[in-house]
Chain A
Amino acid sequence: MSKETELDPVEAKMWISVTINGAKNAYLVEHRMTLADFLRKVVGLSGTHLGCEHGSCGACTVIMNGKAVRSCLLLGVQADGASIETVEGLAQDGALTSLQEAFHVNHALQCGYCTSGFLMSLVAQLRDGPIETEAEAREALSGNICRCTGYTGMVKALLNLPASNGQIGEGL
C-alpha cells in the first residue's frame, strides 16, 4: 500500500442516517463494516444471523428499501438514507405476524438459526403477490438454506397462510 492510501482507522468511519424498523437514527460506522455486522453490533439487533458471509445461505437476509437483500454483501455505509427492515420489526408487542404464526404451527423451524432470513425473504416476496402452489412455495424458499427442517414445514406454513397473505405484518 502506498503511503497516500494508508488509512487512519479513526478516519475510516462515516456518519450515516438510516431508518431501521421505522425509527430513524444517526450512527457512526466504519467503512469496512458489513450491513449485517452494523445491525448486530452497532444497532444491537442480533436477530439478523450470519451463516456463510458470502451470499450463499440467506441467513442474513433483511429488507432494504422494500427489497430482500443479503446484509453480509452490503456495507453499513451503503444504508445511508435507506430504510431497513429486520426480523425484530415483525412481531408487534409480542404478537406474532400471520407468517410467523404459520411457521410456529407448521413446525417450520427447529434450531431457528435460518428462520429470520427465511421470514424476511418471504415477507418481501409475499408483498409482491401471494404464494399459492407448492412449486411457488419452493421457488420462494430457494434462496435460503435450512440445515434442519428439510423445508416441508416451511412449504406447509406458506400454503396454510390466511388467504389475505399479502397482509403480512398483521396478526392471525
Chain B
Amino acid sequence: MKPSQFAYHAPTELEEVLDLLAQYGDDAKVLAGGQSLMPMMNFRLLSPAHIVDINRVSSLAGFSLSDAGLFIGALARHREVEVSPEVELAFPILHEGLTNVAHVQIRNRGTICGSLAHADSAAELPSIMMALDARLNIRSKGSERVALAEDFFRFHLTSDLGPGELLVSVDIPAMSKNAFGVFEEITRRKGDFALVGVAVVGSWDENGKFQECRIVCSGVAPTPLRLREAENFVTGTDLSEAVLVAVQQLVMESLVPTEDIHSSAEYRKKVTGVIVRRGLARLTGQRRVQNV
C-alpha cells in the first residue's frame, strides 16, 4: 500500500466539493487527473487526510469554443483538448504546448486546470496561459473570484489558490485574426519536463510591424517568467534577421536562470536565447503565409 491512509470523498455536485473543501481546509486535497498528486502520495511526500475526487462532478467536465474564446472546465483532460481540430485551429499554440506535456497515457487523465493548480515551474501550460492572458475562475464556499494567469503563479508548486478554493475553469480570450502564437521547448527526451520552454504570442499591424508581444518562459525561474525587455525590444519592428539576432543576444545577456541537476544556469541562458529567437522566427513565417 503506497499512499498513507486518507478518507476518500467522491462528490457529484460542485456545491458538495466546495462544502468538503471548506470543512477540511488544509487537510484536504483535490484529486483531478492525479498525474502529479498520486506520485507525491505514493512517495508520501504528501499525506492528505482527505481526498476530494472531483472526477464525478459532471458540471466541471469539458471545454467549449466560442467567439469570445476558449472555456476550459476543471475536468477537461489534456488529451481531449489536444485532439480537438477546432482548438488546434483557434489556438495552435495551446495544441502545440499540449503535445509536449508528458505522454498520451498521462494526458488521457491529466487536466489542464490541474496543471495550472499544480504550478510546476517547468510545466508548459502556465507560461502558455500567461502568454494568452487567460483568466482563472476560482470558487470557494460562498464566494468566487477571477485571477489573471499573470498573478496566479507564486512559486514552484505554489499557486494563488488558498485552502477551500477550487479552480473551476479557465477562460482564454479569442486571438485576433492577425495574432499568432507558438511554443518551443528543449527536453532531453520527448515527454519529459522541459529544461526550458517559451510561449511567444504577438500580432502584425497593418504596417507589417510586430505588436502586442508576450514572451513567457518556463523552467528558468520559480514561476513562468515574462521577458519584458525582449518584448519591448521586438515590439514595433518587422522581426528582421538583425532584430532576431539582437534579441537572442539580449536574452542571453540579461537572463539569470535557475540552476538544478537537470542543467546549469549557463546552459539554460544559452538555449533560452535560441528558442526565443526560434519562436519569433516562426511568427515571421506565419505572417508571410498569411499574406500569400
Binding site for B on A (CB under 8 A): 1-2, 5, 7, 9, 12, 14, 30-34, 37, 53-55, 58, 61, 67-70, 72-75, 77-78, 80, 121, 125, 139, 142-143
A12 touches B53 (CB 8 A): no
Could you tell me if A7 and B5 are in contact, using CB atoms closer than 8 angstroms? yes
Rounded to whole Å, the gap between the CB of B70 and the closest CB of chain A is: 22
Interface of B is mostly: loop
A54 surroundings in chain B (CB, below 8 A): 38-39, 42-43
Pairwise interchain contact A121-B105, C-beta atoms closer than 8 A: yes
Check B1 against A30 for contact (C-beta < 8 Å): yes
Question: How many residues belonging to B are interface residues under a CB distance threshold of 8 Å?
Answer: 33
* A121: chain B residues within 8 A (beta carbon): 104-105
Q: Which of A12, A31, A70, A77 is close to B105, meaning CB atoms less than 8 Å apart?
A: A70
Min CB–CB distance B2 → chain A (angstroms): 6
A32 adjacent to B4 (CB under 8 Å): yes
**Most B CB atoms within 10 A — which of A1, A12, A34, A55?**
A55
B8 engages A55 (CB within 8 Å): no
Q: Chain B: which residue is nearest A36 at the CB level?
A: B2
> Is the C-beta of B265 less than 8 angstroms from some C-beta in chain A?
no
Q: Identify the closest chain B residue to A33 (Cβ).
A: B1
The 8 Å CB contact of B38, one of A5, A58, A67, A74, is A74
A32 touches B106 (CB 8 A): no
Q: Digit string of B21-65 for contact with A (CB within 8 Å is 1, else 0)?
A: 000100100010011001100110000011101010000000000
**Interfacial chain A residues near B85, Cβ < 8 Å:** none
Q: Is the CB of B109 within 8 A of A5?
A: no
B42 touches A34 (CB 8 A): yes
CB of A17, distance to nearest CB on chain B (Å)? 14
Given contacts A12-B7, A77-B10, contact A31 B51 (CB under 8 A): yes
Report the separation of the CA atoms of residues A171 and B27 in the bound assembly, to the nearest whole angstrom: 51
Bound-state Cα–Cα, A67 to B10, Å: 21
- Listed from nearest, the 8 A-B pairs whose CB atoms lie closest are A143-B103, A54-B39, A31-B8, A5-B49, A73-B38, A67-B108, A32-B3, A68-B105
Q: B108: which A residues are within 8 A, CB to CB?
A: 67-69
Residues A34 and B2 in contact, CB atoms below 8 Å apart: yes
Name the residue of chain A whose CB is nearest to the CB of B43.
A54
Choose from B7, B104, B109 the contact partner of A125 (Cβ within 8 Å): B104
**B191 at the A interface (CB under 8 A):** yes
CB atoms of B106 and A31 under 8 A apart: no
Q: How far is the CB of B261 from chain A (nearest CB, A)?
A: 16
Q: Are A73 and B27 in contact (CB under 8 A)?
A: no
Docked CA distance A31–B31 (Å): 13
- CB interface residues, B 123-138, toward A, < 8 Å: none
* A69 in complex: contacting residue of B53, B102, B109, CB < 8 Å: B109
